[in-house]
Structure 1
């Protein structure tokens, strides 16, 4: 099974990806984790990404695509994967399409977790307090949610048109949300 899990920050993508990973025996792959791995291990792709990050710039799509493609080519993903945090732009959707075609694979489902702004703010404020995350300030949260709305949310329409989208209410107990996803995938 090859899945994308999408939604705004604070909706619970990482939590649900981990649960689905256990259930289906496939790795949950966070693009943030891929970047950290490449940076920590000073891989050629990580060294390239670091040059942009050192300047305070976003890593360009083409480099992000190569980092994701490298990860999807590893042995542990042969039987499937759950990708969290990619794609974020329409160019990345097309790049993923190309990657999957080259690998003779197809995307099975796109899970879109949904929650109101109020719920997302409360969750991220709680996370900031519990985890001491300095990037979860109200202004930063607002900016990330606006970026999601502007750049990533429109991708859901693309996947809906392809018949791949599964929209799931991301509010409630973690296990309830997980059961909604599993039922939708069945």
Structure 2
């Protein structure tokens, strides 16, 4: 009887007589129990710590395997490195050639305020020479041009927390 320690952590018990069985017989019986082909089996004897890869026609007793010996089975990894697949695609930068929305403020970004467009924050400064189009309705007349812009409006209703000073 010979014990074989498999890579999965289990011990396989083979009913072989080391004085009559050859290394080839051991590999074939291992193949029948573990389904590992004999060409991939690497057997290591642990007592003198040597690899049993010599001729398959030698008896196990000639290789130093006695009754109730434990042999370690090693199976090499197959495959090597992964074949290169499709090369990574370059990021699509189509947005660089597109026009921004008409109310986009360049350089503002979202930042901490969450505003991204001029319509969200109002004009950058009051421009007295530009008409105020905030009150214009479709087909209606615009409000008289006072130069106030579309900002916070007149100072009548002030809130206690000033959002502009939070930076």
Q: What range is the shorter-chain TM-score in? A: under 0.3
Calculate the TM-score normalised by the size of structure 2: 0.19
Larger Rg: 2
Give the helix-richer structure, 1 or 2.
1
Which structure carries more relative contact order (alpha carbon 8 Å, separation 6+)? Answer: 1
TM-score (norm 1): 0.17
